Every structure is written in structure tokens, then in C-alpha cells.
């Protein structure tokens, strides 16, 4: 509870920035997503036991920026860009590392490119469908996270994944899912002309996939033996800690919109 004032202040500072980026879109969102990509890479590099060399770091960042730029301008050849990026990353790794650990290092840099470049670009891909669809997932994630946290704090008795996140409970998980249902129902009442199927699918994306994304990031932190990836947002941790659900929700949201809208 002592962290609550810090969490509220950080949310009041950083929350409007995220909402403004998704509302205005365009180059404002482009810069915001690049800052997110840079922050994710920097935080991982500082706490990871594996050494990320300067050539690897800047190559991953450059290719991530290129990918995000392609998403911004609706560049159609995304598959070709992905293949070229992977080949470049592997060639860079070939020149800067020893033979030992080659497979592990290639897997790591590919993961970082995917997690810190491709996944953040989904914010732009979803925003391309309009302001409504750009804002709805983040609002749902914040509401689901809030209800899951407080529901678990007040009523939680059964651990959801004790080894990964001891404070998360099954009760909190279902409180979050239930809150998503409420948000979806209210959204349909307020915006009856929007695609109802997509809105209801967002409930499962935010309520299930989003919370699983949180656990995935917790698993990474357990391996790195850290509580938070950084302290850039007092009471919340770092960019990894605050985007853990969003980085899973927005790619899934993009797939739903591509298929059903």
C-alpha cells in the first residue's frame, strides 16, 4: 500500500502520454513507439546476464525502427523486411561473438528484435484502423489490470502461478476477466455502430492473453533475478513492467481486426 501514491502519480504522468499517442497517431505515435523500443532494449541490456554487444544493440534498434517506420507508412512488404532483418542480425552476431553459445545468442537477438521491435509496432498497426480501435485495447487492459490487482488483493486465496508471480491469484484473474465483460458491454451501449464481435473478442484478449503476457514477463524477470526491469516509473517499474500485457494484447487485437472487421 505504501507504493500506491507513487503508482497513482506515475499513472497520471505516463498514462496521458500513451493515450495521446494512440489518439493522435501518425508521427507522434511513431516517436512514442520508437522510445518504447529503445527503452525495452536498454532495460534488458542493463539487467541481462548475457552480454549484448554495441553492434548487436544498435543493429537490433535500427532494424526495429525500420520495422516501426514500415508499419507507420503502411509498407506492404513486411514479410520481406522481416526475413532481411533476421539475416542481418545473424550476420552481425557471426562477426562479434565466439563460437561457444552461438545458438543461444542467435535465439536471444531474434527474440529481442521480435519483442522490442515487431511487437511494439502493433500499436501503430492497430491505430491504423482508427482512434476507437487504437484506444479501446489499452483502456481495457488498464481496467482489467486494476480489477485483477484489487480483486486479488481483497479476495484472493488461491495462487495462480506461485513460482512466477506469488501475488497473483485465480480470484484476481477472474475479477479481471469479469471487468473486461463489463467494459465490453458498456462500450457496445455507447458505440452501437462498432463491430460487436471484435469488442467481445477483446474481452478474451485482454482478460486472458493480457494476463498471460504479464506472467510471461514475470518468468523473464525470474530468470534474470530482478523484481523490476528498471525504476523509470516509480511504483510501476520499467517499460518492460508496464507494457507486459500491452505487447501481447495489441498484436492479437491486430489479428482480430484483420480477420473480423
Instruction: Pull the grid cell for residue 119.
Output: 511487437
The rounded mean pLDDT for the chain is: 85
Average pLDDT over residues 1-6: 54
Mean pLDDT of 84-112: 78
The sign one gets for the Cα dihedral 185, 187, 190, 191 is negative
DSSP 3-state of 160 = strand
* Mean pLDDT, residues 109-114 taken together: 91
pTM for the model stands at 0.89
DSSP code for 69? H
The Cα–Cα gap between 53 and 173 comes to 39
* Closest CA relative to residue 128, chosen from 15, 30, 249: 30
Amino acid at each position: 500500500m505504501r507504493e500506491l501514491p507513487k503508482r497513482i502519480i506515475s499513472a497520471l504522468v505516463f498514462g496521458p502520454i500513451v493515450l495521446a499517442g494512440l489518439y493522435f497517431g501518425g508521427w507522434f505515435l511513431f516517436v512514442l513507439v520508437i522510445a518504447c523500443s529503445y527503452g525495452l532494449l536498454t532495460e534488458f541490456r542493463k539487467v541481462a546476464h548475457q552480454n549484448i554487444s554495441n553492434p548487436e544493440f544498435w543493429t537490433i534498434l535500427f532494424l526495429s525502427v525500420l520495422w516501426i517506420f514500415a508499419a507507420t507508412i503502411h509498407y506492404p512488404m513486411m514479410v520481406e523486411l522481416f526475413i532481411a532483418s533476421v539475416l542481418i542480425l545473424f550476420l552481425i552476431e557471426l562477426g562479434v561473438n565466439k563460437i561457444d553459445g552461438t545458438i543461444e545468442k542467435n535465439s536471444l537477438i531474434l527474440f529481442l528484435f521480435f519483442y522490442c521491435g515487431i511487437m511494439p509496432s502493433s500499436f501503430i498497426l492497430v491505430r491504423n484502423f482508427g482512434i476507437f480501435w487504437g484506444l479501446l485495447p489499452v483502456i481495457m487492459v488498464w481496467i482489467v489490470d486494476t480489477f485483477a490487482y484489487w480483486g486479488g488483493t481483497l479476495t484472493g486465496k488461491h495462487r495462480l502461478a506461485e513460482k512466477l508471480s506469488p501475488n497473483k491469484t485465480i480470484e484476481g484473474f477472474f475479477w479481471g476477466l469479469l471487468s473486461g465483460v463489463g467494459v465490453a458491454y458498456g462500450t457496445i451501449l455507447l458505440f452501437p455502430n462498432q463491430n460487436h464481435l471484435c469488442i467481445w473478442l477483446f474481452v478474451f484478449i485482454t482478460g486472458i492473453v493480457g494476463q498471460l503476457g504479464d506472467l510471461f514477463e514475470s518468468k523473464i524477470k525470474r530468470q534474470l533475478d530482478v523484481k523490476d526491469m528498471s525504476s523509470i516509473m516509480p511504483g510501476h517499474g520499467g517499460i518492460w513492467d508496464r507494457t507486459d500485457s500491452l505487447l501481447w494484447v495489441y498484436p492479437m487485437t491486430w489479428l482480430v481486426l484483420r480477420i473480423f472487421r
